[in-house]
């Protein structure tokens, strides 16, 4: 287990305590939840009539420690629909258990969220991709989850979902089509992809040999988040849309002269594409059939 973080299952009652607290300090009753990835916190700027709460002020909430993750929960509206936005997420490499990483998703569920939109910064494994491409996630591979570091390990609370949930259709087909149609309408089709996201623990970037292996497994992009949150969202009965911003192309040749990946490059690419991501998310939400 990473660091010394204790594995806590966060049962219904303990999560409800956090949700009830939030419901007493805001009048917003969100139907859509948004999780902003590295450098993509500007998505939160699309929230109108925003009310912000720092994670550190919310009882039992984790605190983000990564550059590019502000650490705020933001309530408000986008395109007239009530939302709650996580400006900054949590990762296994920070020392948090998978259960604590995903606790905010369960809180969202008890706030009334029915749809989760997850975004992330990812490295491109598919050599047909380019830095700056936007990938609509159609499936994922979680090496972390497959190795037993899984957010649903521990006692199952049936108030959230079944003991053995199916994740086959985790990324909602209707929403994927909606996102693709939106990218076409916004003239972003030339740099829009669909593909498989692969989740590793980090925090180190992958070796060239590892990247070749991950690509051979059918992965198009690789990152250090998202899959645990999606698994818990599906377990809770939420519909999910996932978007990856390809912030760098991975190195597959040990003797390459290409620049090796670094977090500064991730943040810089995210900054350049932030406006495009904002437009996509805002327009998709406009089209979502939810009150």
Q: Tell me, what's the pLDDT at 126?
A: 98
Whether 227 is catalytic is no
Query: Which residue of the set 103, 224, 238, 252 is catalytic?
Result: 224
The three-point CA angle 261-132-281 to 5° equals: 125
Catalytic residue list contains 91 = yes
Considering the candidates 44, 55, 86, 91, report the single residue annotated as catalytic: 91
Global pTM value:
0.92
Mean pLDDT over the full length of the chain: 90
What is the structure's pLDDT at 7?
47
Active site (annotated) includes residue 179:
no
Active site residue 69: yes
Q: Which residue among the candidates 79, 263, 265, 268 is catalytic per the annotation?
A: 263
Respond yes or no: is residue 263 known to be catalytic: yes
* Cα–Cα dist 234/19, whole Å: 19
DSSP-derived secondary structure letter, 156: -
In the residue annotation, 93 being an active-site residue is answered as yes
Predicted confidence (pLDDT) at residue 51 exceeds the cutoff of 70: yes
* pLDDT at residue 39, as a whole number: 64
Domains of the chain by residue range? 12-287
E strand segments, 37-147? 48-54, 72-78, 81-87, 115-124, 134-142
- 156 noted as active-site residue: no
Integer CA distances (angstroms), 267 to 19, 41, 260, in order = 31, 10, 15
Pairing of strands 221-223, 72-78: unpaired
Catalytic residue status for 5: no
pLDDT tens, position by position, 168-192: 999 999 999 999 999 999 999 999 9
| % the chain with pLDDT above 70 | 90
Percent of the chain with pLDDT over 90: 72
User: Residue 68 pLDDT > 80, yes or no?
Assistant: no
Say whether 94 is catalytic.
yes
Query: Does 257 have pLDDT greater than 80?
Result: no
Per-residue model confidence as pLDDT tens digits over 118-168: 999 999 999 999 999 999 999 999 999 999 999 999 999 999 999 999 999
pLDDT in tens, 36-47: 987 677 788 889
- Please pick, among 38, 64, 126, 172, the residue that the annotation labels catalytic: 38
Taking the C-alpha atoms of residue 56 and residue 47, their distance in angstroms, rounded to an integer, is: 21
Q: Which of 126, 219, 244, 248 is catalytic?
A: 248
- Is the pLDDT confidence value at 8 over 60? no
Please pick, among 69, 140, 199, 235, the residue that the annotation labels catalytic: 69
- Assigned CATH topology for domain 12-287: Rossmann fold (3.40.50)
Catalytic residue among 121, 135, 233, 249: 121
Q: Choosing from 219, 225, 244, 270, which is the catalytic residue?
A: 225
With b for 16 or more beta-carbon neighbours within 10 A and e for fewer, the 118-149 pattern comes to: bbbbbbbbbeebebbbbbbbbbbbbbbbeeeb
Average confidence (pLDDT) over 237-252: 94
Structure tokens at 145: 């989850």
Q: Return the minimum-mean-pLDDT range out of 1-5, 16-20, 164-168.
A: 1-5
Query: Which residues make beta-bridge pairs with 195?
Result: 137
CA distances from 138 to 98, 171, 286 (A): 22, 6, 21
Instruction: Determine the pLDDT at residue 85.
Output: 95
Work out the number of other CB atoms within 10 angstroms of the CB of residue 103: 24
38 is catalytic: yes
**C-alpha span between 165 and 4 (Å, rounded):** 28
């Amino acid at each position: 287990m990473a660091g010394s973080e204790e594995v806590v299952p966060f049962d219904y009652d303990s999560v409800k305590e956090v949700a009830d607290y939030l419901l007493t300090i805001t009048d917003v009753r969100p139907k859509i939840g948004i999780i902003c990835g590295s450098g993509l916190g500007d998505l939160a700027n699309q929230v109108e009539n925003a009310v912000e709460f720092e994670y550190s002020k919310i009882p039992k909430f984790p605190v983000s420690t990564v550059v590019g993750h502000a650490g705020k929960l933001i309530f408000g509206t986008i395109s007239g629909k009530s939302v709650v936005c996580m400006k900054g997420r949590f990762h296994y490499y920070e020392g948090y258990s998978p259960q604590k990483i995903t606790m905010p998703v369960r809180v969202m569920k008890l706030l009334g969220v029915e749809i989760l939109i997850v975004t992330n910064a990812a490295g491109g494994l598919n050599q047909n991709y380019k830095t700056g491409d936007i990938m609509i996630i159609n499936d994922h591979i979680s090496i972390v989850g497959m190795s037993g570091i899984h957010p649903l390990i521990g006692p199952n609370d049936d108030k959230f979902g079944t003991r053995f949930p199916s994740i086959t259709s985790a990324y909602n087909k209707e929403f994927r089509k909606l996102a693709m149609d939106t990218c076409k309408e916004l003239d972003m089709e030339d740099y829009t992809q669909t593909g498989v996201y692969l989740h590793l623990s980090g925090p180190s970037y992958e070796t060239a040999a590892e990247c070749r292996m991950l690509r051979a497994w059918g992965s198009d992009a690789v990152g250090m988040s998202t899959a645990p949150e999606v698994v818990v969202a599906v377990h809770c009965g939420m519909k999910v849309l996932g978007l990856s911003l390809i912030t760098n192309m991975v190195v597959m040749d040990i003797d390459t002269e290409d620049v090796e990946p670094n977090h500064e490059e991730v943040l810089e690419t995210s900054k350049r594409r932030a406006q495009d991501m904002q437009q996509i998310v805002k327009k998709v939400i406009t089209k979502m059939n939810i009150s």
